[in-house]
Structure 1
Amino acid sequence: MPEGPSVTRRIGAVLRALAGREPAGSTTTGLAALVDLPRPTVHRLLTALEAEGMVERDGATAAWHLGPECFLLGAAATARHDIAPVARSSVLRLADETQESAFFSVRRGEETVCLLREDGSFPIRSHVLHEGIRFPLGVASAGLAILAFLPEGDRSAYLRSLPASTPLPDGHSAAELEARVEETRRRGFAVNPGLIVPGSWGIGAAVFNRQGEPRWALSITGIEQRLAPPRQAELGALLMREAHVLSTRMAGPARG
């Protein structure tokens, strides 16, 4: 297997893409498309990772999954980086009060990663988000809330880099994102009106660290009839209230 930082980046990209496909997993061809690498290259990387226990392949479906070594590494890092317990009470309250699916996400570079999901009691649910899924900043409501409140220089640089650095789905051009950012800043919370899956809406609010930076986000998803106006304002206010509570908690001891 070739050595060098480019290989390290490719391995990281494959593992992150695979994490975003759990629990269903992904085929080699699917992963190659996700990371924009040739299929033979991805196959070689997966074979090497399988030998280390980092990935494993389902014999029945041929789908790749994260392996047991990833679980052990994650468990070892939990004591330093696990912020989910701090956010869990907020996510539970949102799911209980709104009856919708509630989430907690973290910013990682130019992406958001869903860390927690709690389903509410409303029987019709959106399955767009799940724990481990990743989206580029600005795509899901959590990422739009974070993007909107980044320092202006960082936000502008990200928008200028599109789409070359981060190809986004239809409806997410730099101009369209810029308009949604301005609306989010005006309202205080972000709205995704079914742009990922038609009919599945999301509302998100940024959670800030002690330096006042948007590091995390709380969000809810549901069908359009449940998240559209006039209930939207009520839900947005609830999200912002809970995000403020969580931001205060996060301003305690430094977190990863």
Structure 2
Amino acid sequence: MDISSKGGTQSIRRVLHMLRLLAQHEASGLSLQEITSFSGLERSTAHRIITCLAAENFARKDTESKRYYLGIDAMQIGFSAMQRVPIADTLRPLAKRLCRLSEDTVFLVVQQGDYALCLLREHGDFPVRIFTIDAGEKRLMGIGAGGLALIADYSNEAIAKIYARHAVEYEQAGLPLDCLLQKVRHTRQQGFSEIVDGITPGVSGVGYSFSISKITKVAISFGAISQRLDAARRQTMGKLLAEECLAWVRAM
């Protein structure tokens, strides 16, 4: 976005850009210095906008850390929009198509801070169904094929910070940082994620992440028993998944 563009909408664009920044960094919050740096605005301008957003409950300043987060009213707008046009309803036709093509279980997750929140699980015709996660449940990004696809879009430095915030949970999941980064490198190289005997022994998956708006990222994944989703089929299904998701994005 060109937030330096002139005209009557310049101020509106600046405010919207700042709200997007807060949404993108909701888990950790942003200091005024970070807001200034990320927005490209003068410090006085950034301070004026964020102060106004806080006064109107669209931003919240933590009294101890002095970091800014989304406010109650910003979140309420998001909740209202979700009730009217849920992400799951929008992407359900794609998930059902992938079920028909694969006959496997398809999962849809959306990034929610450091977590991947499951919005949808659709079962294909293959008789062995996968129940590793259900709609409404969430896991840290990196755990599970969809979450791994999401976190692979982050820099290694950002991943290390996410890991540090949840080190105990990652260790409990049997996922040390070096192992996570290795999986991330593999995901970036081939364009989709792979999980073999991960969360549930005997179950494997492939996942692909993509953006459905400037601040909303989702991932769709296939899950199947490892015997069915062997190395060769993981390659086939991973490429199919990427192709179908990219086609959906182009048709938006």
What is the TM-score when the length of structure 1 is the normalising length?
0.62
Q: Distance in 2 between matches of 1:95 and 1:79?
A: 25
Question: 1:61-94, CA deviations, whole angstroms, 9 ceiling, x for partnerless residues?
Answer: xxxxxxxxxxxxx996544561112211110011
For residue 204 of structure 2, what is the aligned residue in structure 1?
Answer: 201
* Contact persistence 1:217–1:243 (CA under 8 A): no
SS of match in other structure, 1:248: helix
Q: Distance in 1 between matches of 2:213 and 2:146?
A: 19
What aligned pairs does 1:27-66 form with structure 2 within 5 A after superposition?
none
For residue 149 of structure 2, what is the aligned residue in structure 1?
Answer: 145
For residue 109 of structure 1, what is the aligned residue in structure 2?
Answer: 113
- Alignment root-mean-square deviation, CA: 2.4
Whether 2:102 is the aligned partner of 1:98: answer yes
For residue 221 of structure 2, what is the aligned residue in structure 1?
Answer: 219
* Contact persistence 1:190–1:204 (CA under 8 A): yes
For residue 241 of structure 1, what is the aligned residue in structure 2?
Answer: 243
The letter for the 2-side match of 1:219 is S
* Contact persistence 1:140–1:192 (CA under 8 A): yes
* Contact persistence 2:110–2:216 (CA under 8 A): no
Q: CA deviation at 1:214?
A: 7.1
Q: CA deviation at 1:218?
A: 0.5
What aligned pairs does 1:73-222 form with structure 2 within 5 A after superposition?
78-80=82-84, 82-151=86-155, 153-163=157-167, 166-211=169-214, 215-222=217-224
Query: Aligned pair count?
Result: 175
Q: Distance in 2 between matches of 1:218 and 1:155?
A: 20
Question: 1:108-154, CA deviations, whole angstroms, 9 ceiling, x for partnerless residues?
Answer: 00101111111000001111121112110100110000000125553
* Contact persistence 1:141–1:191 (CA under 8 A): yes
* Contact persistence 1:159–1:178 (CA under 8 A): no
SS of match in other structure, 2:98: helix
Moved over 4 A (4+): 74-77
SS of match in other structure, 1:218: strand
Q: Distance in 1 between matches of 2:94 and 2:139?
A: 22
The letter for the 1-side match of 2:150 is I
* Contact persistence 2:160–2:177 (CA under 8 A): no
What is the TM-score when the length of structure 2 is the normalising length?
0.63
Q: Distance in 1 between matches of 2:89 and 2:224?
A: 24
Q: CA deviation at 1:171?
A: 2.5
Answer with 1 or 2: which has the greater Rg.
2
Structure 1 portions without partners, runs of 5+: 1-73, 251-256
Q: Distance in 2 between matches of 1:79 and 1:219?
A: 24
Q: Distance in 1 between matches of 2:211 and 2:155?
A: 12
Question: 1:5-27, CA deviations, whole angstroms, 9 ceiling, x for partnerless residues?
Answer: xxxxxxxxxxxxxxxxxxxxxxx
For residue 18 of structure 1, what is the aligned residue in structure 2?
Answer: none
Q: Distance in 1 between matches of 2:115 and 2:183?
A: 17
